[in-house]
Structure 1
Amino acid sequence: MSERYEKYVFNLDEDARKYCVETLHETEESRSAALTTLKQWAEDNPRFHVKVDDRSLLAFLRGCKFDLDRTKAKLIDHYTMRRDVPEWYAKRDPALSEIQDLVKLGIFVPLRRDHDRQLVVIIRVAAHDPKVHDQNNVFKAGNMILDAAVKDNEEAQIFGIIAIFDMTGVTFGHARQLTPGIIKKAVRSWQNYHCRPKRLEFINAPVYVNVILSIFKSFMSEKLKSRIQVHYNRLEGLHSVLPKEILPRDYGGEAEPLDDLISYWQQRLSECSDWFAEDEKFKAE
């Protein structure tokens, strides 16, 4: 199977190589052996229809610190979820109006500059109108932007993601959209995704945020729960965890404004149309 795909070559710097060895247990030898094992496993289990190019499999291996059993379990859950949740994973066309509208609102905005080599994403929980926008489409659009941001970002796959949940303007209408079923799907998608969420920072949280978070936490692993931090203000809490030089000006930072970032991701998503069409084929039978 591997002959159809380009063989992976490690081209990152020595610090990244050292991190891979010491934290992810990835060496040239372990990488080669694990990729061979996973490709054979995927061939023996065609019902999961796993994407078997080196880079795709390696992202999951890194997310599981090269534990093969954990990697197989995560792959099974990821590709099974892609089958079972078509409202998020089918018809992922950036040209769809419901996707374009949400992208323009800036519901999910990766920053252009990393922090300690981790990808930083601002998730604007209340950017959409709950009377107009379906919550499933919000998660679908967010997942599409995340895929576009990390598919060629090897550092995010190695060092992970910092998610900033901006709860500015959140209403009970937004909260009502987050049913236990939606929340369960969201947590499942975070936990079976190949890039590890290293920190979940909630800023400008309302007083009732713990009611919502308690539902989220009921579906989370202990490790993921430990990565949650709640701040009851918009900027002070954010500036305590991220340097101003990487943040948009709208967040008291020194980088490009939010509108420029939104325009960038609109264009980037459009450029990934063919990739999304091809990627949609990979899901469990």
Structure 2
Amino acid sequence: MLVSISIVGEDDNLNGPSTEAVALEEIKRWLREEKQNLHARLEDKYLLTFLRGCHFDLEKTKTKMINYYTMKKDEVVWYRKRDPSLDEIQELVKLGVYVPLRELYQNHLVVIIRTGAHDPKKHTQDNVFRTGQMLTDIITFLEYDCSTIDGIIAIFDMKGVTVWHAKPLTPSVVKRSVFGWTNYLLPPDQFEFVNAPFYLNVMINLFKSCMSEEMKRKVRVHKGLESFHKVFDKTILPVEYGGNGESLSSLILYWNEKLLSYRDWLLEDEKYRAE
């Protein structure tokens, strides 16, 4: 029978096993039963990432794991050949299509997604997604696992977006990307669209049409940075966004080095998926 377990303090379980230990044992027992259908990582470090993200609710954790590993099976172009040394991946990383901040904001992971940074005639949208998923995986599982508790703030910088960037974003592609956000480890907490001129409303509305009502309420659109600064503390933002934080070039260099250092892990991780 599935049960829900709430997070408790260290002193609440002096005479028995901790919530963490009980939850880990239940998830491991369930995975042993599901071993023919779900080839998942079994180390405590990775299981705790899912449990924290679901606030130790076991039923939600199991659903999240099924959806995540099923997505890894179905979205072949995102979760195969995840070699960060490949030329097409290196080009996208160095262009800064997906730039996480190194500092958490109120325990949220903050990622700047620069939708107009790449050349859509040269780089496929699937490779853009694949690059973002690789970076998010190493951050979530290996660098900032605590960020799964409060989720992610996604800043979509629409500067430089052209009709050629929008053309590959068919309704089916948008639906897949929204499904990916929904079923990923980090629950999306805010979607901030910045530098978004009015003619991009069609693209933004296409994304919103694929979102749940709850997710739609997390979307905010800003024509410029002035209104954005009113709702987001700019102290950790890169200087290119009117903040006092680390520059984009420095962040891109840092995360590219991290990505390359985890090459073996990324390639080995491809085998973990639903069967």
| TM-score, L = length of structure 2 | 0.90
What letter matches 1:34 in structure 2?
A: A
Q: Who is 2:86 aligned against?
A: 96
Distance 2:206 2:156 in 1: 16
1:73 lines up with 2:63 in the alignment: yes
Secondary structure of the structure 2 residue equivalent to 1:60: helix
**Aligned with residue 128 of structure 1, among 118, 121, 134:** 118
Question: Aligned equivalents of 1:241 and 1:262: distance in 2?
Answer: 25
| In 2: Cα distance, 1:60 partner to 1:91 partner | 24
> Does 2:11 correspond to 1:58?
no
2:160 corresponds in structure 1 to 169
Q: Aligned equivalents of 2:232 and 2:104: distance in 1? A: 10
Give, in angstroms, the shift of residue 101 of structure 1.
0.5
Q: Is the 8 A contact 1:59 1:195 kept in 2?
A: no
The one-letter code of the counterpart of 2:208 is: K
Give 2:23's match in structure 1, choosing from 34, 37, 53: 34
Residue 148 of structure 1 and its aligned partner are, at CA, apart by: 2.0
Aligned partner of 1:248 in structure 2 is 238
Q: Secondary structure at the match of 1:149?
A: helix
User: 2:250 maps to which residue?
Assistant: 260
Identity of aligned residues (%): 49
* Aligned-partner Cα distance in 2 for 1:89–1:204: 30
- Distance of 1:35 and 1:221 partners within structure 2: 30
Per-residue CA deviations over 1:113-170 (Å, capped at 9, x if unaligned) read: 2211211111101100111110000000011111122223132112221110000011
What amino acid maps onto 1:264 in structure 2?
Answer: Y
Corresponding residue number in structure 1 for 2:188: 197
Count residues in correspondence.
261
The alpha carbon displacement at 1:94 in A equals 0.4
Contact 1:115 1:242 in 2 (8 A): no
Contact 2:109 2:153 in 1 (8 A): yes
Mark the runs of 5 or more structure 2 residues left unpaired by the alignment.
11-17
1:25 aligns with 2:6: yes
Q: Which range moved further: 24-33 or 106-115?
A: 24-33
Residue 176 of structure 1: how far off its partner (Å) = 1.0
Q: Once the two structures are superposed, what CA deviation does each residue of 1:162-185 show, in whole Å capped at 9, x if it has no partner?
A: 110000011111111111221112
Q: Where do residues 177-216 of structure 1 align in structure 2 (5 Å cutoff)?
A: 177-216=168-207
How far has the Cα of 1:198 moved from its partner? Answer: 1.1
Q: Which amino acid aligns with 2:158?
A: M
CA displacement, residues 98-120 of structure 1 (integer Å, 9 cap, x when unaligned)? 10000010000011222112111
- Contact 2:113 2:154 (8 Å CA) reproduced: yes
The match for 2:128 is: 138
Distance 1:184 1:34 in 2: 33
- Across the aligned residues of Structure 1 and Structure 2, the Cα RMSD in angstroms comes to 1.6
Q: TM-score, normalising length from structure 1?
A: 0.87
Partner of 2:210: 219
Deviations 1:197-251 (A, max 9, x none): 1111000112133322333223323222211111111x21332233232111111
Q: 1:21 aligns to what?
A: none
Q: Secondary structure at the match of 1:177?
A: coil
1:253 Cα deviation after fit? 1.4
SS in structure 2 of the partner of residue 259 of structure 1: helix
Shift of 1:194: 1.4
CA displacement at 1:25 relative to structure 2: 2.7
Output the CA distance in 1 between the equivalents of 2:95 and 2:79.
21
Cα deviation, residue 67, structure 1: 2.4
